[in-house]
Amino acid sequence: MADSKPVVQIGENSPEQVAYKLMELVAEIEEKSIQTKKPSAPGWTAADRKWILDTYSECLQAAKGYRSLG
């Protein structure tokens, strides 16, 4: 019996792609650099692993319609 692994959709407008784009917007609003270790703009900080994973997870839940409004 084959192991069933989740399929990750990377196509245009997939929940994963929408979540990533949303995470990029959140990073910009929160002045977090996710592209480099050393942010060049004043006031910006580097996003650490925890911030990236937590934020992406939250964005993915929102993209899939599971985010609670309360």
What digits encode the pLDDT tens for the residues 7-17? 665 668 899 99
State the virtual CA torsion across 10, 12, 17, 23 in degrees, nearest 10: 160
CA distance 32 to 46: 5
Is 21 within the bounds of a domain? yes
**Domain coverage including residue 56:** 15-35+44-63
Is 49 within the bounds of a domain? yes
pLDDT, tens digit, 9 for 90 and up, residues 20-53: 999 999 999 999 999 877 777 889 999 999 999 9
Is 8 within the bounds of a domain? no
Which residues lie closer than 8 Å to 28 by C-beta, 6 or more apart? none
Q: How many domains does the chain have?
A: 1
Is 53 within the bounds of a domain? yes
CA distance 2 to 34: 36
- The model's pTM is 0.77
Is 20 within the bounds of a domain? yes
